[in-house]
């Protein structure tokens, strides 16, 4: 499930792209299950290799991660659709919903849109619910809380740190995703993969360069939010590639209503519902704004489906890399469409980030061809 906050400003690049800070997407279907059947014809037991003193058993190669079994062309198509929808929703929010300052209500609206879309597809037979054990249902409930807590901590941390500092901390999400993969799942990566993340993270840092300010507790909250963002992306991937192997639409169907309810409760707790009521009474909810919100919900639903599916096919680390690259491309679009002003360091950061993304793509392509 992706979450989209609307703190946008055209004054500086780091403030303008803040609407995409928490857009990840984040979060891919159906493992390509491989079964192997060995047929043995028993003839003369003494002729078997196991009794041959010269025979040495070959080491068993480690299985490739699920994303490396996906054809490159298919992966590129899904990444392109996901990237286009992600960037498009950010620009849509900026152009049409710049005055809709209710992030929790918008998150609830996106989750509700995902719920309605999934229920409609289920009614037409495109989504079938798997019979789950109680423990599996608890896992999905915990995942919905992880999604909501991730947004909550991000919002809290923003009150204690500057936007540029928040951006540069969030740009390290791929690094934390890589570390979690190594520590929790013993996943190994090549040296080139590690090195390719350096210009990518450094580039986003330069893109969002500005007045860095933070309090000690704000630093801890921002760090926790970054780790949670990486954890959420990996958890999304594991729900679809691990033992459950649930389809993206089924996860959305089960999780979206919970996320919508949690977001509504937080909107009430933070006073957004009251402010929204006053906003409507002031006459801001015009027919145009209503149509814009409906269109926003439809795009958000498509993005959520695409995000989950792409997470499964391309991998959690690649999704976090896309999040970094999107920040730079958002600034480029802001320059063209909204006359956002950037300095030399910001421009240099874009070059670094694009170079890092290209390097990472080359490394992943090489890994795929070798696998």
pLDDT of residue 365: 84
Stretch 183-199: mean pLDDT, rounded?
92
Cα 22 to its chain centre, rounded Å, is 9
- pLDDT range class, residue 72, cuts 50, 70, 90: confident
> Does the structure show a pLDDT above 90 at 222?
yes
Stretch 53-82: mean pLDDT, rounded?
72
Residue at 211 is within a domain:
yes
Residue at 272 is within a domain:
yes
SS (H, E, C) the chain: CCCCCCCCCCCCHHHHHHHHCCCCCCCCCCCCCCCCCCCCCCCCHHHCHHHCCCCCCCCCCCCCCHHHHCCHHHHHHHHHHHHHHHHHHHHHHHHHCCCCCCHHHHHHHHHHHHHHHHHHHHHCCCCCCCCCCHHHHHHHHHHHHHHHHHHHHHHHHHCCECHHHHHHHHCCHHHHHHHHHHHHHCCCCCHHHHHHHHHHHHHHHHHCCCCCCECHHHHHHHHHHHHHHHHHHHHHHHHHHCCCCCCHHHHHHHHHHHHHHHHHHHHHHCCHHHHHHHHHHCCCCCHHHHHHHHHHHHHHHHHHHHHHHHHHHHCHHHHHHHHHHHHHHHHHHHHHHHCCCCCHHHHHHHHHHHHHHHHHHHHHHHHHHHC
- pLDDT range class, residue 351, cuts 50, 70, 90: very high
Stretch 20-30: mean pLDDT, rounded?
40
Cα separations in angstroms, 153 against 69, 221, 228: 35, 6, 9
Stretch 95-111: mean pLDDT, rounded?
88
- pLDDT range class, residue 12, cuts 50, 70, 90: low
- pLDDT range class, residue 21, cuts 50, 70, 90: very low
Higher per-residue confidence, 30 vs 78 = 78
The answer to whether 204 and 327 are in contact (CB under 8 A) is yes
Share of the chain above pLDDT 90, in %: 52
Q: Which two tokens stand for residue 85?
A: 């929808």
When mean pLDDT is compared across 17-26, 130-139, 179-188, 258-267, the lowest value belongs to: 17-26
Stretch 314-329: mean pLDDT, rounded?
91
Domain that holds residue 201: 65-370
Residue at 291 is within a domain:
yes
**282 contact partners, CB below 8 Å, separation of at least 6:** none
> Does the structure show a pLDDT above 90 at 48?
no
> Does the structure show a pLDDT above 90 at 109?
yes
Residue at 48 is within a domain:
no
Residue at 76 is within a domain:
yes
Residue at 1 is within a domain:
no
Residue at 9 is within a domain:
no
pLDDT of residue 52: 47
Residue at 103 is within a domain:
yes
> Does the structure show a pLDDT above 70 at 17?
no
Stretch 331-338: mean pLDDT, rounded?
84
> Does the structure show a pLDDT above 70 at 26?
no
**What value, to the nearest 5°, has the Cα angle with vertex 3 and ends 175 and 209?**
50
Each residue's pLDDT tens digit, 276-289: 999 999 999 999 99
Q: Structure pTM? A: 0.80
> Does the structure show a pLDDT above 90 at 69?
no
> Does the structure show a pLDDT above 70 at 15?
no
pLDDT of residue 9: 42
When mean pLDDT is compared across 32-36, 81-85, 92-96, 145-149, the lowest value belongs to: 32-36
- pLDDT range class, residue 327, cuts 50, 70, 90: confident
Number of domains in the chain: 1
The answer to whether 275 and 24 are in contact (CB under 8 A) is no
């Amino acid at each position: 499930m992706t979450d989209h906050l609307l703190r946008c400003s055209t004054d500086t690049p780091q403030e303008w792209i803040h609407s995409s800070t928490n857009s990840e997407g984040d979060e891919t279907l159906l493992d390509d299950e491989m079964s192997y059947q060995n047929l043995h014809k028993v003839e003369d037991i003494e002729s078997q290799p196991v009794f041959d003193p010269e025979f040495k058993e070959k080491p068993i190669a480690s299985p490739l991660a699920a994303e490396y079994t996906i054809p490159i062309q298919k992966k590129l198509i899904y990444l392109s659709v996901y990237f286009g929808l992600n960037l498009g929703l950010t620009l849509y929010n900026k152009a049409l919903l710049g005055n809709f300052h209710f992030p929790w209500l918008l998150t609830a609206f996106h989750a509700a849109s995902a719920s309605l879309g999934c229920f409609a597809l289920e009614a037409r037979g495109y989504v079938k619910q798997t019979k789950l054990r109680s423990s599996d249902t608890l896992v999905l409930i915990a995942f919905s809380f992880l999604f909501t807590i991730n947004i909550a901590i991000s919002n809290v941390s923003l009150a204690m740190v500057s936007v540029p500092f928040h951006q540069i901390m969030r740009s390290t999400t791929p690094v934390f995703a890589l570390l979690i993969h190594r520590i929790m799942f013993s996943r190994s990566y090549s040296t080139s993969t590690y090195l390719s993340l350096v210009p990518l993270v450094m580039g986003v840092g330069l893109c969002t360069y500005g007045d860095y300010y933070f309090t000690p507790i704000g630093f801890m909250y921002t760090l926790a939010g970054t780790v949670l963002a990486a954890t959420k992306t990996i958890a999304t991937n594991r729900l679809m590639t691990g033992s459950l192997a649930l389809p993206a639409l089924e996860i959305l169907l089960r999780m979206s209503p919970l996320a919508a309810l949690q977001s509504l409760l937080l909107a009430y707790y933070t006073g957004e519902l009251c402010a929204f009521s006053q906003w409507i009474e002031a006459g801001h909810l015009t027919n145009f704004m209503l149509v814009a919100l409906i269109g926003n919900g439809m795009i958000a639903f498509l993005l959520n489906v695409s995000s989950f599916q792409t997470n499964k096919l391309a991998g959690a680390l690649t999704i976090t890399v896309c999040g970094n690259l999107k920040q730079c491309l958002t600034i480029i679009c802001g320059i063209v469409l909204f006359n956002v002003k950037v300095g030399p360091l910001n421009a240099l950061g874009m070059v670094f980030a694009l170079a890092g993304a290209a390097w990472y793509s080359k490394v992943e392509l090489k890994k795929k061809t070798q696998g």
